[in-house]
């Protein structure tokens, strides 16, 4: 909806400075340091996984204990 009676206002320079150069020069990519080869079987689970596995084991042991106690109380 342009009104032909009013002249167009020019866009500010901060919006148009990249229009003249649409492909800015990218910074050269730095090589990603790659760790050396690891010996097979030396991978350790991280701390969060160990905590989760310990929690899951305790949860299952507690649940099994409750079920055994309830089953013995019904005898």
Q: What are φ and ψ of residue 2, in 5° steps?
A: -90, 140
Region of residue 61 (left: phi > 0; alpha: psi -120 to 50; beta: else): alpha
Rounded to the nearest 5 percent, the helix, strand and coil shares of the chain are: 40, 0, 60
Q: Which two tokens stand for residue 70?
A: 């309830």
Residue 23 pLDDT:
61
- What average pLDDT does the chain have? 80
- pLDDT tens-digit series, residues 47-65: 899 999 999 999 999 999 9
Residues of the chain with pLDDT under 70: 1-4, 18, 20-28, 38-45
Q: How far apart are CA 50 and CA 44, in angstroms?
A: 10
Q: Which residues contact 45 (CB under 8 A, 6 or more apart)?
A: 53
């Amino acid at each position: 909806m342009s009104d032909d009676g009013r002249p167009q206002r020019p866009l500010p320079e901060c919006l148009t400075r990249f229009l003249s150069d649409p492909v800015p020069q990218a910074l050269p990519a730095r090589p990603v340091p790659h760790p050396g080869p690891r010996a097979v079987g030396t991978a350790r689970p991280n701390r969060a996984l160990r905590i989760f596995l310990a929690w899951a084991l305790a949860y299952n042991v507690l649940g099994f204990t409750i079920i055994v106690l309830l089953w013995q109380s019904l005898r």
